[in-house]
Amino acid sequence: MRANLALAQSRAGSAKTWAVVKANAYGHGLHYAVQGFAASDGLALIEPEGAVRLRDMGWRKPVLLLEGCFDHTDAALLCEYQLDTVVHCNEQIRLLETVKAGGSHKASINVHLKMNSGMNRLGFKPDAFRAAWARLAALDIVGTITAVTHFANADDEHNARMSLTEQVRRFASATVGLAGPRSVSNSAAGLLHPELAFDWVRPGIMLYGGTPGPRTASEFGLLPAMTLRSRLIATQEIGAGDAVGYGSQFVADRAMRIGVVACGYADGYPRHAGIGTPVLVDGVRTRLLGRVSMDLMTVDLTPVPGAAIGSEVTLWGSGLPIDEVAHAAGTIGYELMCALAPRVAVRPAPDQATTA
């Protein structure tokens, strides 16, 4: 995690870095994020309760709520815990208008005003952005106002439906003459378009050793922060015509040996991972066979004749990029990281932030 952050910072030049730690640091744990991203300029996440946890764990640098406040209770936390907040709609401006300075509220609130430059999820349209800015600037409780947007296709800059160039143009046009920092760069932009670093960058998936685009993490020099490992708990000898697992989806075309792995969708491994999804057994690449069940999966032991009960199985991470597994399962590495279940034992390892 430290190495990936250092790489993100090296690509960002003089820009400051928000390390994105939403969804429990993409499944890695906020307690590890505080350690792994100690050199960042701030931590950014969605969950107000997570922001409070970061303060309780001793994090004193900035904390940013990426989706802002959802109600008056959240708004009250901004001053109490000195949190930055995104503002993406008029309702959130009205919430800030109810926050009073003075008393225990000694700190101003730094606001990150979000523009909808083409993603069409959150934010003010470009023609409404200045009016929102003016309302915020008129509030005594508001400190700095940072202009932010989020790219839909930083990993596909010439996308015909919404190009990166068009989003940058809209953002630049709508913020001309407005004072304050700028922040537009996510992991994809940080990896592929360092010229867009501006004042703040917001790396997420790259900090954990995943990538948002077609190139692999190792091509960028990123390291896997999570490795999911288990062991073989049984082996079976099957013959030609024998089927394996629920639905009998895999049918052997020859006599072969298979291994049963103690991991399934209740642990966070994707049920929809199909036959052929890569797996390592004792460090040797092989493949998933049959349907993933709640607690078990089966793998082909043909390439690993010496495998036996107790053999180590790597499902993603060190030696097996999570993005490769995700692609084979028809999903993305983000989902695999975030879906890891609470029953999976987590331990620190010398060469990576967490090993499950």
The whole-angstrom separation of Cα 279 and Cα 311 is 13
From the candidates 100, 246, 269, 334, which is the catalytic residue?
246
- 246 assigned to active site: yes
From the candidates 22, 114, 208, 265, which is the catalytic residue?
22
The whole-angstrom separation of Cα 73 and Cα 80 is 11
CA 245 from centroid of its chain's CA atoms: 32
Separation of first and last alpha carbons in the chain: 15
Nearest to 316 by CA among 343, 289, 293, 339: 339
Residues annotated catalytic, as ranges? 22, 246
